[in-house]
Every structure is written in structure tokens, then in C-alpha cells.
Amino acid sequence: MRTLGLWLLAMQAEGATAPSALGGGVVGLIKESSPTAKIVLAILVIFSIVSWGIILYKLWAFNRIQNQTSKFLDIFRRSAKFSEVQAVCQSLAESPLVGIFLAGYAELNLQLRQTGGGATTPPSPAARPLLKSLAAVDRALMRASNVEVIKLERRVTFLATTAAVTPFIGLFGTVFGIIGAFQGIGASGSTSLDVVAPGIAEALVTTAAGLAAAIPAVYFYNLLTSRVKTFATEMDDFTLEFLNIVERNFT
């Protein structure tokens, strides 16, 4: 029993000295880390801050886009004339459907002016204006749709870059930290836990920081990309709906 008690006291003493060897936790490790590790951590923090800024901005912007798109579609389907829809476009400008509609409306008006008509839906039976080319309207809508998709994807690709790069940046810091730890072992000639643990712990902090930056970036990149695809599908559906109306009334 006496031997067991002495062994327990020795274990408690070793546990009490370990935290001080580790420099007072993660914050202490960062403060006492090498210049290379601090540079790596600074880079990872910058990546993380920019990523979270993009994530929060895009979530806010996509919610606004969804609300304005719903309102625009409701007005578009209830209106008897394209000119009525055009009148509300400025107030719902964040919806990608507005850009597509304005491109199609401009091409439609351009062709109808050449035949003496106007973009009214439905046109007057007495003087029915005719389109010269429905394919030209389709091309105008497709170009506008591509422009709107590019706008939606803007800055989202930075999240993919963050997800791909930051784990390797963290690993780079870890490798340097482990090299420093082994150099410390060689200089001291000791392999005790007090000598090895601080260097290894310092090295692993950069890996943890890299993962902390990469994991949210991966999740929200997939989420935002999925929403962009949903918006792109809505734009394709609207393009077909617009073309159907034009074909029924102006061809």
C-alpha cells in the first residue's frame, strides 16, 4: 500500500508539471511558438476571416434574392403587359430574373419597333406585330442568364480555395514545428515528455487551425453552390416561360 501511495503521488506531481511545460494551454503555445508558426497561423486567420465574411454576405444576399425573385415572378405572371413588369424591375433589381427579363424585353422591343409594334401582351388584334427572329430573343436571354450566374458565383470560389489550401498550410506549420521539436531533443539529449510535448503540441496547433478554417469553408461552399444551381434552374424555367409568351403573341 505504501508503494502504491508513493506511485500515485509521483503521477500527480508529473500531471501538475505537464501544463506548465505546455506553456499554459493553446494561448500560451501560440505566444511561445516560433516565428514560422505565427506566420502560418496569421495566414490561416486571414483565410478564415475572409471566408466567414463571404459566407455571411452570401447567405444574406441569397435570402434577399429569393424574396425578390418570388415577388417578381408573382408580378410577371399577373401582369397583362411586359411594360407593367418593366416598371417594377428597378425595385426588384437584385433578382437575377430581372436582368434576364430586361435583356429579353430590350431585344423584343428592338425587333417590334422595326415592324411598327410594341411589346404588349397580348397585342392589339387590329395590328399584330411580328418578331423577325425568336432565336435572337432566345440568345439574348441566354447571354443574360450566363451573366447572372457569374454574379451569383462571385467570391464563392474563394471558399473552395480556402477548403483546399488551408489544411496544407496548417500541415506546413506542423512539419516545421516537428522539425524544431526534434532539434530540441537533439540539443538537450533528452527524450522525456517535458522536452518533447511542448514542441509537438505547438506543431499540432497549426494543423488544428487549418482544419478550423477548412471545415466551414467546405460546408458553406457546397451549400452556396447548391443554391446557385437552384437559382440557375429558376432562370432556365423563366427563360422558357418568357419565350412561350413571346411565341404565342408575337409570332
Domain boundaries, the chain: 25-59+79-250
Write down the residue that cell numbers 411565341 correspond to: 247
Q: What pTM did the predictor assign? A: 0.77
Write down the residue that cell numbers 499554459 correspond to: 24
- CA-CA distances (angstroms) from residue 203 to 22, 35, 36, 128, 211? 12, 12, 10, 77, 14
Query: What does the block give as the cell for 211?
Result: 482544419
| Cβ atoms of residues 111 and 124 within 8 Å | no
pLDDT digits (tens, 9 = 90+) for 75-93: 999 988 888 899 999 999 9
State which amino acid sits at residue 79: S
Give percent above pLDDT 90 in the chain: 49
Q: What is the dihedral of CA 44, 46, 52, 58, to 10 degrees?
A: -120
Nearest to 67 by CA among 87, 96, 99: 96
Task: State the pLDDT confidence band at 164, using cuts at 50, 70 and 90.
Answer: very high
Q: Check pLDDT > 70 for residue 22.
A: no
Q: What residues have CB less than 8 Å from 42, skipping those under 6 apart?
A: none
How far is residue 94's CA from residue 91's CA, in Å, rounded to a whole number? 8
Task: State the pLDDT confidence band at 128, using cuts at 50, 70 and 90.
Answer: low
